Structure 1
Amino acid sequence: MQLLKNIFHLLEALFANVLYVFPSTSIKVVGVTGTDGKTTTTHAIYHILKESGKNVSMVSTVYAQIGNKTMETGFHTTTPRASTVFNYLKQATKAGSEYFILETTSHALSQNRVHGIRFEAAVLTNITQEHAMEHKSFEEYVKVKARLLLQSKHPIINLDADIYQTVKEILTTNRKTYTSFSLKNTEANIIWNKDIKTDISDDFNRENILGAYACCVLLGIEKEKAGRALSSFTLPKGRLDIVHEDDFMVIIDFAHTPNAIFNVLQEIRKNYLKTGGRIIHVFGSASERDDVKRPMMGEASAKFADTIILTEEDHRNEDVQDICKQIAKGIGSSKPYFTEPDRAKAIEWAIQMAKKNDIVVLTGKSHEKSLARNGKEYPWDEYKAVENAVGSRK
């Protein structure tokens, strides 16, 4: 069945490429892939190029920006289907864009949705467990991600990522030269330096910013100009997003992998939490993803959260309680946790229990506009849910 889907997407990509007259030959396409950090890196590249006076378009998980026009990309969509991607490319060329930044998933690569696109540059942020179940093995998942680097003119990889050596071997075996970046390792081609101006302090977002900086430098932007452009860069919607700040704080973040949850909660405990405050973490795990990660998500949460509320996150046709039980295996008896299948009620519960200096952290949904329940999509707004819960707080 999957083979047939891949063939369909390949044929669609071939047809769309011809229909839109090979649009990637008229614009410099930059692909961004990785398990975590794709969206932030994509937006940072877009921002640097825009601030440097370039005409640029972008497609990310959050939205598509084609010239001056902003468009929704659909439910749970990162890289759209091939016909849509090539249509966006054609529209971008008509809008006079010189660059097109495309957030690119492993699904898009394995299913041939970006087949035929000429990539001027490609950035790999990191690779962790998420989506590995949808490939034959984790090794296969890494190889799929590496495809984007192999078909780009300028591959750029994070030397600090755990899979750096594996990806390096794939590239060198294929006689592909690449550029590496690192926050501190001087063996990298590009390291964090005084030219980079930003108020963003956490390492995991600095890695994403550095990947964007490295990419733009390779695209010909002067180092000082690229670094200076980052001084006005802010994280995309739903990334460490403070949505309420009074006696207690509410933060929304898209983190939905063990690595991302670990990083965001660590950052919040280190730089946001005041003395005497607690972290109350509300999250779940989507169905039809890598089940192996669920206990790992619970373990990551338990390292930094004081109280955990497990809830729904696109459970589709799977039982929410079963998903929560799998997550809870990673929590064990280390931290108190509760289960509330209804996400709106879980958020309300967390906000009701919040005391002075506490931080309620909501992860997994962020900017998404729907919840997948029992085979259907239901309207969802995480921000509105917080607003309602704060308004009803006693």
Structure 2
Amino acid sequence: VQRYLAGMVDAGLTHVVLETTSHGWAQHRVDACEFDVGVVTNITHEHFDEHGSYENYRAAKARLFESLEWTRAKPQGNPRLAVINRDDRSFEFLNDFIKTKKLSYGLGESADVQAQGVSYSSSGIEFTAISDDFRVGVNSPLVGEYNVFNCLAALTATVYGLNIEPEVAAQGIASLEGIPGRMERIDLGQDFIAIVDFAHTPNALKVALEAAKKILATENWERTGKISKTSVNSVHSVVNTARVIAVFGSAGLRDKEKRRMMAETSIELADLTVLTAEDPRTESLDGILEEMAAGARSRGGVEGETFWRVPDRGEAIKFALRLAKPGDVVLSCGKGHEQSMCFGKTEYLWDDRTAMRAALAEFLGIGGPKMPYLPSQDKTEEEWLKG
């Protein structure tokens, strides 16, 4: 990291946005970086295989805010600032670690920077960001409530941490056209919505499914093209016949607890669930799927009616497309932008977006890319584990 930062200084750069991992903080790998602005979006069930518990995980995240206290003044003159999500359950815990100036963001009135008048549509989000110092309209092609929080975090950090005018910051947010593999729509002319997302944790899956529900609501809100929180209190309040069909797996040699949790989340929020492979590595894929199926059953899921196990990911996506009816959303989660999948100890080229296009092309009977190869297509589990 220091080598890269030094190269940036040599190239005349003055600012850098650095995403740091909880592992990096726990292992003291970024202790020599002096951060001026620290932002934490949320802390959910993730990396427990590395940290052992939620308490250890959030303690590692808190070190970002602790580090602000010993940051020296820089030539740019920006204040040391902590930016924190007022609506996240980690707020009170993280708040105790902040000794510098701090600002919160959120949807509630207790936040320093609030989003009001939020509207969701299939083409993005709109809201008004309000603080004691400004009131500015924000619109973004990113979808879902979680991206309202992400936009608020970016706006708060840049306006108060970098002295950027609110209107300029809002223009920057509007200019972001989308993030590869994050709620990315794949359209080959089908009469339903196909989306690829990176969601690979219980909370990420939850917010992706909630975003898909909002997309369903807005797609069926034909007169206005958008749905407001003031007119609809819940993503479940809009009555429609369209459904969300979720396709996802859970990684091998990683946190086993989230396998059950993700399946439970999908049974609760999606209409139909297809369980499949996601980097099984040297674990038994059948074993992983059984753990997930147990979670699905614990929430009332019925195998063969509301959820299915399809081990090969390409076939799972094809199966989900065959389940789809006009107006439905098919949401493939867990891989997003990633370019490979691990079976045994071998990384196989894999792109969920290519796989979705290949499956759609076959479904529609049109030309398209070839489905990427995985050993689950023609090898037994024993064969690819040996490989």
TM-score class, shorter: 0.7 to 0.9
- Equivalent of residue 189 in structure 1, options 112, 115, 134: 112
Determine which structure has more spread, i.e. the larger CA radius of gyration: 2
Written as runs of structure 1 = structure 2, the 5 A alignment for 1:59-98 is 85-98=1-14
Task: Please point out which of 208, 213, 216 is paired with 1:272.
Answer: 216
Asked if the contact 1:183/1:210 (under 8 Å) is kept, the reply is no
Matches within 5 A, 1:297-316: 297-316=262-281
Is the deviation greater in 232-241 or in 248-257? 232-241
Please name the residue that 1:179 is paired with: 103
Unaligned runs of 5+ in 2: 69-79, 116-128, 130-134, 221-239, 366-387
Q: Kindly indicate whether structure 1 or structure 2 has the higher relative contact order, using CA contacts under 8 Å at least 6 residues apart.
A: 1
Asked if 1:212 corresponds to 2:154, the answer is yes
2:180 — aligned with what?
Answer: 237
Say whether the 8 Å CA contact 1:130–1:289 is kept in structure 2: no
Cα deviation, residue 202, structure 1: 2.6
Match of 1:111 among 6, 27, 31: 27
Provide the aligned length of Structure 1 versus Structure 2: 306
Task: Report the residue type matching 1:291 in the other structure.
Answer: K
State the match for 1:63 in structure 2: none
User: Secondary structure of 2:342's partner?
Assistant: strand
Q: What is the CA distance between 1:96 and its match in structure 2?
A: 2.7
Normalised to the residue count of structure 1, the TM-score between the two structures is 0.73
The match for 1:363 is 333
- Which residue number corresponds to residue 323 of structure 1? 288
| CA distance in 1: counterparts of 2:177 and 2:11, whole angstroms | 25
Deviates most, 311-320 or 270-279: 270-279
Q: Identity rate of aligned residues, in percent?
A: 36
Structure 1: distance between partners of 2:92 and 2:319: 45
- 1:353: Cα distance to partner? 2.9
Runs (5+) with no aligned partner, structure 1: 1-84
Deviation of the 1:276 alpha carbon: 2.7
Under a length normalisation based on structure 2, what TM-score does the superposition of the two structures give? 0.74
- Check the 8 A contact 2:39/2:82 in 1, yes or no: yes
Which residue of 2 is the match for residue 168 of structure 1? Answer: 95
**What amino acid maps onto 2:315 in structure 1?**
K
- Specify the alignment match of 2:383 in structure 1: none
Q: What CA distance in whole angstroms lies between the structure 2 residues aligned with 1:233 and 1:257? A: 25
Higher helix share: 1
- Whether contact under 8 Å (1:285, 1:313) holds in the other structure is yes
Q: State the one-letter code of the partner of 1:334.
A: G
How many angstroms apart in 2 are the aligned matches of 1:96 and 1:121? 20
CA contact (8 A) 1:122 1:155 kept: yes
Distance 2:30 2:279 in 1: 26
- In the superposition, relative to structure 1, how do residues 265 and 105 fare at CA in structure 2: closer, same or farther (>3 Å)? same
How many Å separate the matches in 2 of 1:228 and 1:388?
36
SS of the counterpart of 1:322? helix
Instruction: Provide the aligned C-alpha RMSD in A.
Output: 1.9
Instruction: Pick which of 104-113 and 203-212 moved more.
Output: 104-113
The alignment status of 1:376 with 2:376, answered yes or no, reads no
Q: Deviations over 1:154-212 (max 9, x none)?
A: 221111101111111233xxx44422112223x32222224142144632111011011
SS of the counterpart of 1:181?
strand
What is the identity, as a one-letter code, of the residue corresponding to 1:181? Y
